[in-house]
Amino acid sequence: MPVITLKSAAPRPPQADADVTDMVAVMLTRLRVGGAQVALEYARRLDGWDGPITVPAARIDDAADEVSQQLRDDIRWAHDNISRFAAAQRATAQDMEIELRPGLFAGQRQISVRAAGCYVPGGRYTHIASALMSIATAREAGVPDITACSPPSGAGGIPAAMLYAMHLAGATRILTIGGVQGIAAMALGLFGAPPADILVGPGNAYVAEAKRQLFGPVGIDMFAGPTDSLILADDSADPELVAADLVSQAEHGATSPVWLATTSRPLAEAVLARVPALIATLPDPNRSAAETAWRDLGEVALCASAEEMARHADDRAPEHLHVQARDLAWWRERLAAYGSLFLGAETTVAFGDKAAGPNHVLPTSGAARYTGGLSVHKFLKTVTWQEVRAKALPDLARVTAAISRQEGMEGHARSADIRLNRFGGLDRKGRMRKLAANDQG
């Protein structure tokens, strides 16, 4: 039975239209040539910021005093969860060594990048959680130098709670600069920062496009578009909870789609009736953002079975996937394409967005088909090494030379031959050379 669409979504807009692409290209060219001076000009004109770009230590100390003790405790509670989860991830990334054949050793090492740039978005919301997610994860990965930047919020610069979170998470330095100029400042190593090896963190279309254009010489976490969420629900789900969860994610912005797939028509109809009423209770500008997202991009689909819901989810590959249905263990094992999975009615995507522990920087626009979200692994390089001793030389050199000559790569073959003759291969009379003393046994 095909999926029945009870509410359709309009086609999703492009992540970066031609105007954004062209504008970012021009800005990056100017920033590469003009460096810090051009970044300052953009900060003055686009951010409206006339203060110092690098946040002084005294301002960071003052910011902590401006944050209530309760909020400091709450931020620390969330930071502890995020750091502990990232540390557990780091423990899974292991160095290893194997002797593939006698005398042929190979292995891998996990090496952190030297410098990371963490972008923390500003604007309509104070993204405390985003600061923790990117900076604390880099710190737990072992990155020695972390630059964090965020746009100012009025004359006061970066909000005090955000500064407290950025410092707590382990930023080496904090820059009051946003947008393309902030991304470029970290990538190019401006304002006393080393050039970043990787740029991470969410942002608007201009930030995402700047990361895309810089990718190559600089690593990035992912190509990020608007956030998206899918709820899978059966007839055991509570329509009020489902509707509230859809509204909470639509609040992100007018381009943030929210979707529901269910096997229960009564549930679907109840949710369709309830969502507009819940949106109407939000304060502005949250209300207008959620109204547009639900009207233009919201979708409700009716499926015939749990398996059909699962296939629908795998095809959509959402950033956030929330299951409110029976047999959660089955869903956890069955589902295969999502940025992060939220299981059960007691769980909500908002927990993951703010404080639960796993990272909230996740693949969007279907990218969860092939990648996961931000983790310590994004800040690590898995590099390999190999060491060959005389015991391994005869067969290894022979096979290498044979394959090389078959491919037409004579230089490669000769590089193998010379080692065969010099280090334990055949002597001039065609006899095997004796192995070196340290290769006996």
- List residues with catalytic annotation: 319-320
Q: What does the DSSP 8-state code read for residue 237?
A: S
Tokens of 143: 């990155």
Cα–Cα distance measured from residue 9 to residue 26, given in angstroms and rounded to the nearest whole number: 34
CA distance linking residue 316 with residue 322, whole number of Å: 13
Residue 52, number of CB atoms within 10 A of its CB: 12
Q: Among residues 82, 110, 57, 9, which one has the least CA distance to residue 361?
A: 82
Task: Give the span between the Cα atoms of 371 and 120, in whole angstroms.
Answer: 22
Handedness of CA 181, 187, 188, 191 (dihedral sign): positive
Amino acid at 238: D
What is the spatial distance between Cα 122 and Cα 204, in angstroms, rounded to a whole number?
9
> Which runs of consecutive H residues, i.e. helices, occur in 281-368?
286-297, 306-316, 328-334, 349-354
Laid out side by side, the sheet with 320-324 consists of: 4-7, 299-302, 258-262, 229-233, 320-324, 340-343
Q: Which helix (H) or strand (E) holds 359?
A: none
Q: Show the CA angle centred on residue 32, arms to residues 27 and 34, nearest 5°.
A: 90
DSSP for 179-231?
A: HHHHHHHHHHT-TTPPPPSEEE----HHHHHHHHHHBTTBEES----S--EEE
Q: Please list, residue by residue across 245-284, b when 16 or more beta carbons sit within 10 angstroms of its beta carbon and e when fewer do.
A: bbbbbbbbbbbbbbbbbbbbeebbebbbebbeebbeebee
What is the sign, positive or negative, of the torsion defined by CA atoms of 402, 404, 409, 413?
Answer: negative
- Return the residue matching tokens 């807009």: 13
Q: Give the chain's radius of gyration (CA, Å).
A: 27
Of 350, 420, 346, nearest to 390 (Cα)? 420
Residue 34 sits at φ, ψ, to 5 deg, of -95, -15
Phi and psi angles of residue 118, each rounded to the nearest 5 degrees, phi first? -110, 115
